[in-house]
Amino acid sequence: MKLRQFHQAKWDEEVIFELGTKGERGIVVPPVEKAVADEIGDGISAVPEQLRRRTPPALPEISQMRVLKHYLRLSQHTLGADLNVDIGQGTCTVKYNPKINDALAASPKAAELHPLQDESTVQGALEIVHRTDLFLREISGLDRFSFQPASGSAAILAMASIIQAWHESRGEGKSRDEIITTIFSHPSDAAAAAVKGYKVVTIHQTEDGLPDMAALRRAVSERTAGLLITNPEDTGIYNPRIDEITRIVREAGGLCGYDQANANGILGVTRARDAGFDMCFFNLHKTFGTPHGCGGPGCGALGVVEKLADFLPVPLVDFDGRKYVLRHDLKNSIGKVRSFTGVFPVILKAYAWIMSLGERGLREVANVAVLNNNYILSQVRKIRGAGAPFAPGRHRIEQVRYSWETLAKETGVTSEDVTLRMADFGFHLWSSHHPFIVPEPFTIEPTESYSKDEIDEYLAALKRISDEAYEDPAKVKGAPYRSVVHRIDHAWFDDPAKWAITWRAYLKKHGSAKP
Amino acid sequence: MSDDKPFIHPYIPNSVPEVKERMLREIGVGSIDELYADIPERLRFRGRMDLPEPLTSEAALKRHVEGLLRRNRASSEVLSFLGGGCWPHYVPAVCDEINRRSEFLTAYAGEPYEDHGRFQALFEYESLMAELLDMDVVNVPTFDWCQAASTSVRMAGRITKRDEVLYADTIGPDRLQVMRNYCRGVMKLVPVRHDPATGLVDLADLAARITGRTAAVYFENPSYLGFLETEGRRIADLAHARGALCVVGVDPISLGVIAPPGHYGADIVCGDIQPLGVHMNYGGGQAGFISTRDEEKYVMEYPSRLFGIARTAVEGEWGFGDVAYDRTSFGVREKGKEFVGTAAALWGITAGVYLALMGPQGMAEVGQHILQKSQYAMNKLGALPRVRAPRFRAAHFKEFVVDYGGTGKTVAAVNEALLARGIFGGHDLGRDFPGLAGCALYCFTEVHSKDDIDALAAALGEVLR
């Protein structure tokens, strides 16, 4: 397999404050009509003296083409999924985001809608939301979806809020003060529960990589409010006892929330309801093909069983048999977790994605994602220094958390070193593998979007770097060579006297000299 | 489509049967189903999901979705005067050009090496916002103003180690609902009355309610109802005198002409950047910012990513990375500050582009234009018989309350009649503010022409006759 002679663009681009000259303009604001100015005057005189801005903001002054060029150069310094074989940001489900869906969302009929328009003027938008709700009911087996949470973490917060409101409605709000999660569930499953004031009980895994059932049985009590759990967890191992886990929590009086941020390997294969969950959510920006946008906007579509439907955030979109309406009158609603009804363009793109694939296509997505993943597993095992902890001999679902432990022991080359060297081949191998239980971790999640040839190319880069580590470890440790920048000095990031979160802070702390 | 033919979709390359066979052989299994061996039969879904037949051709998909979208009326097809947390502003073409770039649109969470541009663009966003706000720290965007306000008061709670928040009872209703849920069980929210004539915070009521438990006093300026809070300094002084922080929500597009909250004593400033180059997107264009001084006790309480600038191994080269990453929930889970994850980064990059294009002159001009247009609209609507506009006797920015009370007409009836004339009238305030039944919130920006406002005034004149 040929490895490409990649080199990322390197413009040596300035920070934007170093560009432009006083007096340059990037865009001109329409002048107010003369008749308005004649009648009103300058407008500013009506503002009380103490509220007027005295010194203009020290924004740069740059002509339009230079602003454009600056940001285009920064875009070339960014490795979007459209440009690489983006399987190294495991857990993130970085897949193809169809261009047609972006084009549809850019239509003024979507982009220029105001969220408070009369319902009669947004029947198309509401129908899209409602139909997406119906689709997700089919996929999850649950009864009702809200699209208000703008991310997976926000959906977790909403689930914890529903757990809280449910127990409050039954007079047990104070006494049930614990939420159970597992160490391989997403950090937000613990963190968002804590935001709601819950004590978080974390179940660790046993040698097989799955949560310790005895520890779970010990953990449940009359203080248990609920469970927030991922399955498969970040190891990619499907937990066959998931229904036993939900039963144990349910019998203790808790509600069960399923973190399905990433459901890419199990669409149409197994459903939240069948595993005993009361709630689940899907990240539309993962499984359902909407772009990640450098980290949002996204949507954590939140589904619940019937008994929790009137706890959902408002408004919900309903069909009354004749027209689509926004419902605000939910008796036990937790209120809101975001403004308005949610991130509409993301819902629209997910709707179009599902419409393009249908039931057979969704199954095919899952099947091929799992096929690709297990193919990679079979190949990574052959790479010297790499391993796949837990569940020996078993298949995985959509991703695997691998380890460079052997490589690190034998060559001194760490997971971070490999990550930086991968950049030289035009690939991501990201570094976020929390919790760091697997030593020298790396996580690969191929999704359904990449061809076998592309996957082989990615694997060839891993193999090459392993070879380099054994032959010339210093080479790997000096990477990246063909990326935009070289090894970053972390000394400023954790020192309050030196960190600079803005350009003005940089100037104050480090003067105006170049680094 | 029958199930025995292979389903080969443009989005799924390895559906080609020969490829599948090769990969299965390599894995050492006979079928994909074997790969699901860990899922017990009792958990396998053997039914069919009731989904429509797929529209695998892009042309058919486009026709279908466009058919649905045609049932919408875009605010650009009518005259719309809706605001209330999502506002019509001019979006420069360069903003769309940048946020539709594949590189930014489809990037996610790469390292500061191969995603150097993402880090730099967001660092620059933080820096440009910091100039607008005249503060030294701004976060990578959170979901929206609602979340930004919620996190701001929770930060205040942690900084002061107190558990009560006083808020002006004129704040945006979505903000209040999100804050309520976000604080439930942890912090208590207490409303402070407004002066019914001016809308301003009732300082006597504030002084009476503030206690040694008060972590923060939160108000918005311009307020949700459009008036400017002129007593920000006195509110901040009252808060500080009792050891509380002053938290202010602000519309950033006002800051070319209106003093940023830090100038009158705010400790934490928050708001929404949708006005800065992001389309309304039916409410999907929101993104929240939080800003503070550059003090460790503030910085360490942010849940958000904070991108900082740094040196690299090569002289003269800029690098970027995460500042104080260990405070986030990624590493320390429930011990972290709230939680962090995907939020609204693309809109942050976009707002950076907007501020870079606008510069200080553009921000001053757009602020002035909005002041002039909204004051012109006040003159026109205020001149209508039996209409009170603005309802509050105060200076305003961009929005104001129009009171139809004297006309005997409901907002719903007025809006229905306006809609028939191709006008989206102001948002009905009755549900969220019982004291403002019969009142509507109107929004006027640089996208509205004098003729638009004259047309509105004429239509209202007919409707209310």
Same domain, B85 and B99: no
Nearest one of B109, B111, B142, B110 to B125, comparing CA atoms? B142
Residue A442 is which amino acid? F
Peptide bond into A480 cis (omega under 30): yes
Of the candidates B48, B280, B309, the beta carbon closest to that of A359 is on B48
Same domain, B173 and B257: yes
pLDDT band with cut points at 50, 70 and 90 for residue B2 = very low
Instruction: Write out pLDDT tens, residues B149-205.
Output: 999 999 999 999 999 999 999 999 999 999 999 999 899 999 999 999 999 999 999
**Does some domain include residue B6?**
no
CB-CB neighbors (< 8 A) of A480 in chain B: 113-114
Q: Which of A54, A70, A116 to mutate to test the interface with B (most CBs of B within 10 A)?
A: A116
Contact A503 B362 (CB under 8 A): no
Same domain, B152 and B250: yes
pLDDT band with cut points at 50, 70 and 90 for residue B353 = very high
Same domain, B189 and B303: yes
d(CA A177, CA A164): 9
**Does some domain include residue B55?**
yes
SS3 A91: coil
Same domain, B152 and B168: yes
Q: Show the 3-state SS of A334-360.
A: CCCCCCCCCCHHHHHHHHHHHHHHHHH
CB-CB neighbors (< 8 A) of A365 in chain B: 11-12
Task: Give the containing element (helix H, strand E) for B255.
Answer: none
Looking at residues B117-140, what average pLDDT do you find? 98
Check if the beta carbon of residue A315 is closer than 8 Å to that of residue A126: no
Judged against a pLDDT cut of 80, whether residue B3 lies above it is answered with no
In chain A, which among 360-399 make CB contacts under 8 A with chain B?
360-362, 364-365, 367-368, 370-372, 374-375, 377-379, 394-395, 397
Q: Bridge-partner residues for B309, per DSSP?
A: B320
Contacts of B204 by beta carbon, 8 Å cutoff, 6+ apart: none
CATH at B296: 3.40.640.10
d(CA A496, CA A432): 24
Nearest one of A305, A270, A444, A435 to A374, comparing CA atoms? A444
Residue-level pLDDT at A514: 62
| A337 at interface of B, judged by CB pairs closer than 8 A | yes
Contacts of A405 by beta carbon, 8 Å cutoff, 6+ apart: A387, A439, A440
Same domain, B82 and B47: no
Greatest Cα pair distance in chain B: 83
Q: What are phi and psi of B402, to 5 degrees?
A: -105, 125
d(CA B462, CA A255): 56
Same domain, A40 and A125: no
Contact A30 B363 (CB under 8 A): no
Average pLDDT for chain A:
96
Instruction: Quote the minimal CA–CA distance from B205 to chain A in Å.
Output: 23
Contact B395 A348 (CB under 8 A): no
Distance (Å) of CA B410 to CA A40, A118, B68, B107, B259: 30, 15, 31, 48, 36
Same domain, B195 and B288: yes
Distance (Å) of CA A465 to CA A79, A418, A424, A426: 20, 7, 10, 13
The secondary structure of residue B28, as a DSSP letter, is: T
Helix intervals (H) in A23-147:
34-40, 64-76, 99-106, 108-111, 123-140
Looking at residues B375-396, what average pLDDT do you find? 97
d(CA B376, CA B366): 15
Contacts of B222 by beta carbon, 8 Å cutoff, 6+ apart: B228, B229, B250, B251, B254, B258, B396, B397, B398, B399
Distance (Å) of CA B151 to CA A254, B140, B145, B175, B322: 28, 13, 10, 11, 19
Same domain, B98 and B214: yes
Contact B9 A71 (CB under 8 A): no
Instruction: Write out pLDDT tens, residues A422-439.
Output: 999 999 998 877 888 899
Residue-level pLDDT at A435: 83
d(CA A162, CA A443): 32
Nearest one of A270, A286, A425 to A346, comparing CA atoms? A286
User: How many domains in chain B?
Assistant: 3
Annotate B1-22 with DSSP letters as a single string.
Answer: --TTS----TT-GGGSHHHHHH
**Does some domain include residue A472?**
no
SS3 A235: coil
Contacts of B408 by beta carbon, 8 Å cutoff, 6+ apart: none
Nearest one of A150, A231, A241 to A189, comparing CA atoms? A231
For residues B193-224, one letter each, b for 16 or more C-beta atoms within 10 angstroms of the residue's C-beta and e for the rest, the string is ebbeebbbbbeebbeebbeebbbbbbbbbbbb
**Does some domain include residue A98?**
no
Check if the beta carbon of residue A340 is closer than 8 Å to that of residue B175: no
Same domain, A73 and A212: no
Check if the beta carbon of residue B96 is closer than 8 Å to that of residue A57: no
CB-CB neighbors (< 8 A) of B294 in chain A: 501, 505, 508
The better pLDDT of the pair B332, B274 is held by: B274
Residue-level pLDDT at B214: 98
Check if the beta carbon of residue A358 is closer than 8 Å to that of residue B58: no
Contact B56 A480 (CB under 8 A): no
CB-CB neighbors (< 8 A) of A116 in chain B: 82, 84, 86, 427
| Interface ipTM above 0.90 | yes
**Does some domain include residue A453?**
no
| A330 at interface of B, judged by CB pairs closer than 8 A | no
**Does some domain include residue A417?**
no
**Does some domain include residue A235?**
yes
Name the closest residue on chain B to residue A288, using Cα atoms: B11
Instruction: Quote the minimal CA–CA distance from B457 to chain A in Å.
Output: 14
Contact B185 A164 (CB under 8 A): yes
Residue labelled with tokens 């939301």: A129
Q: Which domain holds residue B442?
A: 75-90+361-463
Task: Give the containing element (helix H, strand E) for B192.
Answer: strand B188-192
Same domain, A74 and A139: no
d(CA A221, CA A254): 9
- Among A317, A332, A355, identify where a domain stops: A355
**Does some domain include residue B3?**
no
Check if the beta carbon of residue B359 is closer than 8 Å to that of residue A30: no
Name the closest residue on chain A to residue B307, using Cα atoms: A501
**Does some domain include residue B320?**
yes
Same domain, A224 and A290: yes
Same domain, B209 and B348: yes
**Does some domain include residue B70?**
no
Check if the beta carbon of residue A98 is closer than 8 Å to that of residue A82: no
Of the candidates B39, B103, B311, the beta carbon closest to that of A78 is on B103
Same domain, B54 and B100: no
CATH at B447: 3.90.1150.10
Q: Which of B15, B333, B380, B410 to mutate to test the interface with A (most CBs of A within 10 A)?
A: B333
Name the closest residue on chain A to residue B20, using Cα atoms: A371
d(CA A355, CA B51): 8
Residue-level pLDDT at A513: 59
Instruction: Write out pLDDT tens, residues A140-173.
Output: 999 999 999 999 999 999 999 999 999 999 999 9
Percent of chain B whose pLDDT exceeds 70: 99
Residue A65 is which amino acid? M
| A187 at interface of B, judged by CB pairs closer than 8 A | yes
- Among B354, B388, B423, identify where a domain stops: B354
Whether pTM exceeds 0.95: yes
Task: Give the containing element (helix H, strand E) for B33.
Answer: helix B32-35
Determine how many CB atoms are found less than 10 A away from the CB of residue A377: 21
Instruction: Write out pLDDT tens, residues A363-398.
Output: 999 999 999 999 999 999 999 999 999 988 899 999
User: How many domains in chain A?
Assistant: 2
CATH at A140: 3.40.640.10
Instruction: Quote the minimal CA–CA distance from A252 to chain B in Å.
Output: 22
d(CA A87, CA A84): 9
Q: Which domain holds residue A288?
A: 103-107+120-355
pLDDT band with cut points at 50, 70 and 90 for residue B1 = very low
**Does some domain include residue A156?**
yes
Q: Token pair for residue A474?
A: 């210093």
Residue-level pLDDT at A233: 87
- Among B321, B354, B387, identify where a domain stops: B354
d(CA B191, CA B207): 12
Same domain, A321 and A249: yes
pLDDT band with cut points at 50, 70 and 90 for residue A197 = very high
d(CA A212, CA B260): 53
Q: Which of A12, A29, A128 to mutate to test the interface with B (most CBs of B within 10 A)?
A: A29
Contact A75 B61 (CB under 8 A): no
Same domain, B104 and B60: no
SS3 B410: coil
Contact B180 A335 (CB under 8 A): yes
Same domain, A165 and A307: yes
Contacts of A137 by beta carbon, 8 Å cutoff, 6+ apart: A143, A144, A145, A303
Same domain, B101 and B249: yes
